[in-house]
Amino acid sequence: MAPKVQALDQSHEVKTFDCGVPVLNTWLHSTAMQHQKNGMSKTFVITDESQPAQIAAFVTLAIRTLTPAAELPLVLQKKLPRQVPGFTLARLAVSRTHQGKRLGEFLLMEAMERVWRASQSVGGFALFVDAKDGAASFYEKYGFVTFPDDPDTLVFPIASMPSFPTRDPD
């Protein structure tokens, strides 16, 4: 059975989450809910089936400011305007107790699907990732390409994403 993804809400115990990366832990503990309330980003969680308040993994998505095409990897710069719109995968983490269960991969695919669906309504060039704590190699395995001047910033064109089947809204 696939993990259930839901929007972060007050019922989730953010303070107990520990993925082993302090910057990601701190962000979830103190910033995620505030950003969500203010419409700055949206965080989605997978919870522990036996303890529904416990967060097993989370991913955060946001709109990205326009990115200069000249900053993109050369292979992606062809036929683009000077600046391109997109989405940001701002944070993705799996708790220590749930690592090795492919929840990170599952949430990455969930994020890509959400971005693809949003782009069908509002447009957008790519999903960008600002990788934390050496995680760029994780995204590269799935086809993300690093920026030439910043190996922790990666991009995946929405046009390269698969089409996702129609489904009922969340």
> Is residue 59 one of the residues assigned to a domain?
yes
Give me the count of residues in the chain.
170
Is position 147 within any domain? yes
| Amino acid 12: pLDDT | 96
Which pLDDT score, from 0 to 100, does residue 132 have? Answer: 84
Residue 69 belongs to some domain of the structure: yes
Residue numbers of the domain that contains 24: 5-160
Q: Distance of alpha carbon 112 from its chain centroid, rounded?
A: 8
Q: Pick from 10, 18, 107, 97: which is nearest to 60 by CA?
A: 107
* CA angle (32, 93, 85) in 5-degree steps: 65
pLDDT of residue 162: 79
Q: Which two tokens stand for residue 68?
A: 């200069």
> Which positions of the chain have pLDDT values less than 50?
none
- What is the pLDDT, as a whole number, of residue 160? 92
- Domains in the chain, number: 1
Residue 168 lies in a domain: no
Q: Is residue 165 part of a domain?
A: no
Any idea what the CATH number is for the domain that residue 82 is in? 3.40.630.30
8-28: pLDDT as tens digits: 999 999 999 999 999 999 999
* The predicted structure's pLDDT at residue 3: 85
Query: How far is residue 55's CA from residue 168's CA, in Å, rounded to a whole number?
Result: 24
pLDDT of amino acid 169? 54
Check residue 110 and give its pLDDT. Answer: 95
Q: Is residue 170 part of a domain?
A: no
Domain annotation covers residue 106: yes
**pLDDT score recorded for residue 14:** 96
> Would residue 116 count as lying in a domain?
yes
